[in-house]
Structure 1
Amino acid sequence: MSEVDELRAEVARLRARVKQLRDGPDHWMGELSYVFVMTYGRSGSTLLMGLLNTIPGYLIRGENDDALRFLFDFHRTCVERSSYWPIDRVRRKTDAFYGIGDFPPALSIADTRRLAVDTLLRPKPDTRVTGFKEIRWWRHDDLDAYVAWLREVFPGARFLVNTRDHADVLKSKWWAKGDDKSAHLADIERRLLETADRLGDAAYRVHFDDYVADPSVLAPMFAWLGEEYDDAEVRATMERKHSV
């Protein structure tokens, strides 16, 4: 088979895959919406997750140890390498990087979405909105780039930033061990808030101490999500013990 024939076969395969994504059994993923909680450890985000899951049709999962960062690194590396060398060079079978120039970014994004939805988020038949909360956003040197990739993988994704009084955070579990971590905590929160500011209407901030003192301050968050605020349900959820 000539190189031209190989490329034609690859185009045909990609077209078939696109059709499968459009018409196959997983086409319903296009109907999902996504919400992700951005925070740091000991901020009360498990309670916020519980509050979000009181909304009919919501399924917000817990932490996954920032597992998607590996898929982000995979995608970014392949995209960067695919354009690093002249395309005619990396299409030669004698080249050390043979094939990398034809890496398909759109297919990578689509298959990452399917993998994450099917294995990590696992929406139920009645799920309208899914996502997860995570405390390890600090691992990303370029948080904006990672969030931009998430928004490609999960179209229309929105981000809730959860903060808490630093004095209380620093007294909790690992924050209280060893050297003073106040500067590290402040830096994490600064980066989260700066990213949220750049997201505009796609991000919203809530403060743990505020909504614990007065649950009704969450009403604007529910409005931002396009959902009704049920004060009784929110208060009942807050009475149940969550990991905080």
Structure 2
Amino acid sequence: MWERITRRLARSHLRERDETIARLRGERDRARHRVSVFERDTRVEYLFVLTYGRSGSTLAQGILNSIPGYLIRGENRQILRHVWAYDKTGVAERRVQRRKQGERGVEKGSSGSRSPLFGMDNYAHGAALRHARKLAVATILRPEPDTRVTGFKEILWGEPDTPDFVRWLQDVFPGARFVINTRDLESVSHSAWWSKDPDALAELQEREAMLMRLRDQLGDAAYHIKYDEFTANPEVLHGLFEWLGEPFDVETVRAVLDVRHSFRPRTDRSGETDEEETGEPVADPP
């Protein structure tokens, strides 16, 4: 009898041990996953494509994504501008509060719980930048296990404060680089929705002027490519690949150029052909 009891107790202890081991292993695996997600933004490099609509940027996106380890996402309606506005507001209020503290002769950053803006004099700008990066990586970029370089392409760079926004992006994504893509503006102005705007050419000229200012501002962190040139002769992209530090395979690039990178026209209820308001042209300009 005692022998049966002893075996039963032993089996019970073994079961408890196994359950504890399984639970601890589960906690370990979950912790490893959290750490991998937390560190995911530090193991990749960042690359962004700056352009305007109908410039061939989806094709440029495809060329970049043909490089092993590259994951360049598409447009996101400049969603990060909202995060920038958040951070900009916090930084501005911290500056105001500390200026007022200096005028009163009190220690900067010493607001107390009786202050209506308690704590804003110590707004954590550095933490905001880190978490902005983590937010973007986790929700927009979503790098895969083999991703080395990630980013996105965007066509909305026409706001007057765009240079300041790009500086903030550089703070959020340390070491980020920027590909600036342009196309013959006369051709763009006759493409898709631009063709319906009588002021299209003037607006496009303004947008391209902004891109050129950004190119000058970014210096070596930017590289300018031209749709009309690389579709006519893919060899001109050798300089881009050299700037990226990647091997250049012109046949791979040609294979990308042979694939449609655009949207398809749609027909509205009147029977007239229309086109989406996003997307870029195919390799051969319309």
The TM-score range, normalised by the shorter chain, is 0.7 to 0.9
Q: Secondary structure at the match of 2:146?
A: coil
Which residue type is aligned with residue 124 of structure 1?
E
1:156-205 Cα shifts (integer Å, max 9, x gaps):
00000000001110011111113222111101101111111121110000
Asked if 2 retains the 8 angstrom alpha-carbon contact of 1:216 and 1:231, the reply is yes
- Whether 1:73 aligns to 2:85 is yes
Alignment partner, residue 136 of structure 1: 156
Which secondary structure does the structure 2 equivalent of 1:83 belong to? helix
Equivalent positions of 1:87-102 (< 5 A) are 87=101, 91-102=111-122
Distance 2:228 2:116 in 1: 56
The CA RMSD over aligned residues, in Å, is 1.7
> Which residue number corresponds to residue 112 of structure 1?
132
Residue 39 of structure 1 is matched in structure 2 by 51
Gaps of at least 5 residues in structure 2 are 1-33, 263-280, 282-286
Unaligned runs of 5+ in 1: 1-22
The answer on whether the counterparts of 1:39 and 1:161 sit within 8 Å (CA) in structure 2 is: yes
- Structure 2 counterpart of 1:200, from 201, 219, 234: 219
Partner of 1:126: 146
Q: Which residue identity does 2:215 align to in structure 1?
A: A
**Structure 2: how far apart are the matches of 1:101 and 1:65?**
32
Q: Return the offset for 1:37.
A: 0.3
| Letter matched to residue 60 of structure 1 | I
State the partner residue of 1:12: none
For residue 99 of structure 1, report the CA deviation from its aligned partner.
1.7
For the residues of structure 1 that align with 2:206 and 2:214, how far apart are their CA atoms? 12
Please, what TM-score do these two structures have when normalized by structure 1? 0.87
Amino acid at match of 1:97: L
Shift of 1:95: 2.6
Q: Deviations over 1:56-93 (max 9, x none)?
A: 00000000001000001111110011110235697232
Q: What corresponds to 1:3 in structure 2?
A: none
Q: Secondary structure of the residue that 1:84 maps to in structure 2?
A: helix
Structure 1 segments (4+ residues) deviating >3 Å? 86-90
Counting only pairs closer than 5 Å after superposition, residues 113-192 of structure 1 correspond to structure 2 as 113-138=133-158, 140-192=159-211
Correspondence 1:49 to 2:61: yes
The farther-off stretch of 157-166 and 27-36 is 27-36
Q: Is the 8 A contact 2:157 2:210 kept in 1?
A: no
- Superposed CA deviations along residues 215-237 of structure 1, whole A, max 9, x for unmatched, are 11001000000001111110011
Q: Deviations over 1:89-130 (max 9, x none)?
A: 972323322221111011000011101001100000000000
Report which stretch shifted further, 43-52 or 28-37: 28-37
C-alpha contact (below 8 Å) 2:48/2:178 kept by paired residues: yes
Q: Answer yes or no: is the 8 Å Cα contact 1:90–1:98 preserved in 2.
A: no
Between structure 1 and structure 2, the one with the greater Rg is 2
2: CA distance, partners of 1:64 / 1:90: 39
CA distance, structure 1, for counterparts of residue 60 and residue 198 of structure 2: 29
* 1:19-30 alignment runs, 5 A limit: 24-25=35-36, 26-30=38-42
Structure 2 counterpart of 1:211:
230
The size of the alignment, in residue pairs, is 222
Look up the match of 2:241.
Answer: 222
Tell me by how many angstroms 1:144 deviates. 1.7
Kept after mapping to 2: 8 A contact 1:72/1:146: yes
Q: SS of the residue aligned with 2:96?
A: coil
Measure the CA separation in 2 of the matches of 1:178 and 1:113. Answer: 37
The one-letter code matched in structure 2 to 1:48 is A
